[in-house]
Structure 1
Amino acid sequence: MVLTRCLWRLPFTACRDTTRLVKAAPWNDPRIVEWSQLLLDSYQRWIGNELIERTGDAAAQAQRLFEVSFVVVSHGVEPDPVLNYGNQAALDLWEVSWERFTTTPSRLTAEADNRAERERMLAQARVQGFYDGYNGVRISSTGRRFVVEKAVIWTVVDVAERPLGQAATFSLWKHAVGS
C-alpha cells in the first residue's frame, strides 16, 4: 500500500497526523478527478479567476481541491439534487463521511425554515451562472448549526456549456450560539 503524509483527517481511514492510505481518498477516483476539473473550469468561466492554483495534472489538482482549507461542495441536476462532491473542509464542517455526504439530498444541508431562501439563491445562480455573497444558516449531520458568510455559488457546465449541477465555496463560517 502506498502511504503519504497526512494533510487532513479522513473520516474513513486510520489517519492520524503522519500517514494516510492514498487509495482511500475520494479525489483518487477518476470520476472525481473529472468532476473536479469541471468544478474548476466552471468557476473560472463564471467568476473569472481560479479557485485554486492549477498546476500539475488533473489528479494533482483534484487532490489540491480536496485538501484546501475552504469549503467546496456541489450537487447534480436531479429533480431533488443530491450532493456529489464535498472536500475535506466540507466533510469536517458537516461532520459526515464522504459516503454519507455524497448520498444526501442537498436541500437537507439547510433546515426546512431556510430552504426557500436557499432555493431563491440557487435559482438566481442558475439564471446568471453564479451568485456572489450568499449568507445563510446550514446544519451539520449532527444537528449543529453554522452561519455561512460570503459564499459563491456557480453553475457547473460541461465543454458544451450544458448545466451539470451547481457548486458553492466559502471560507467564512461561524457556529451558531448553542450549537
Structure 2
Amino acid sequence: MSATDLSPLPLLEASYRHWLGQPLPHPADLPEADVFAWLHERAPYALLAHGSESDPLFCYVNEQALRCFGYPRDEFIGMPSRFSASPKDRDERQRLMEAVGRQGYASGYEGWRVDKAGEAFQIHAGVVWNLVDAEGIRLGQAALFWPDPQRIGQVD
C-alpha cells in the first residue's frame, strides 16, 4: 500500500455508517470528492484497520495514527495489531476486540496504547467497529480515536 492508497477507506466509511448510522467525522462543507483524502491526510483523529487473520495485521493507517504510534507506514502496515497495546494492556484490548466482534461496534473507549519507542499514550473517545462487506461478511475491524481530548469532535 502506498502512502496515498485510499482504497481501504470506502470499506471503513461504509462499515462505520452501517454500525453507527452516520459518516466518519469530517467537515460539513468538505466536497464529497475530497472526503477520503481528508480522512487519510488531515483528520485530527487516528483511523486504522486490521484484517481478519487469527493474529490480525494492520492493513490501513491514516497520517494522524502514524504520528501517534511513531512508525513509518511501511513498518506499521502488516504489523500484528496486538502490538499497538503494551503487554500489560493487551488483555483489555483483546476483550474489547472480542466484544466488538459480537456486537458490531463499541464507542466511548478510553485506554492506553504504546508507540514504537515503547512510550504509552492515552486514546480518547475511541470507536471500534467491524468491517463488513455488502453481504455482511466480516473482513476485519477498524478504530477511530482522538489523541487530544481537547479536540474531540472538532473537525473544522
Q: TM-score range by the shorter chain?
A: 0.7 to 0.9
Cα drift, residue 61 of structure 1: 3.2
Give the match for residue 3 of structure 2: 26
User: What displacement does 1:25 show?
Assistant: 5.7
Aligned residues: 145
1:104-146: CA deviation from partner (whole Å, max 9, x where unpaired): 1000010111111101111111111001111111100111210
Rounded Cα–Cα distance in structure 1 between residues aligned with 2:61 and 2:67: 10
What is aligned with 2:53?
78
Matches within 5 A, 1:99-178: 99-173=74-148
1:94 is aligned to: 69
Other-structure match for 2:37: 63
Q: Supply the AA of the counterpart residue of 2:14.
A: D
The Cα shift of 1:64 comes to 1.6
Q: TM-score under structure 2 normalisation?
A: 0.86
**1:89-109, CA deviations, whole angstroms, 9 ceiling, x for partnerless residues?**
000110111111102100001
1:47 to 20, 23, 32: 20
Aligned-residue Cα RMSD (Å) equals 1.9
Structure 1, unmatched stretches of 5+, are 1-23, 175-179
Aligned-pair identity in percent equals 32
Displacement after TM superposition at 1:170 (Å): 1.2
C-alpha displacement at 1:162, in angstroms? 0.5
TM-score, length-normalised on structure 1?
0.75
SS state of the match for residue 32, structure 2? Answer: coil
1:56, distance to aligned residue in structure 2 (A): 3.2
Deviating 4+ runs (over 4 angstroms): none
Structure 1 residues 108 and 63: CA distance shift in structure 2, 3 A:
same
Matched residues in 1 for 2:23 and 2:45: separation?
A: 14
Letter in 2 for 1:36: L
Q: Structure 2: give runs of 5+ residues left out of the alignment.
A: 150-156
Higher relative contact order (CA 8 A, sep 6+): 2
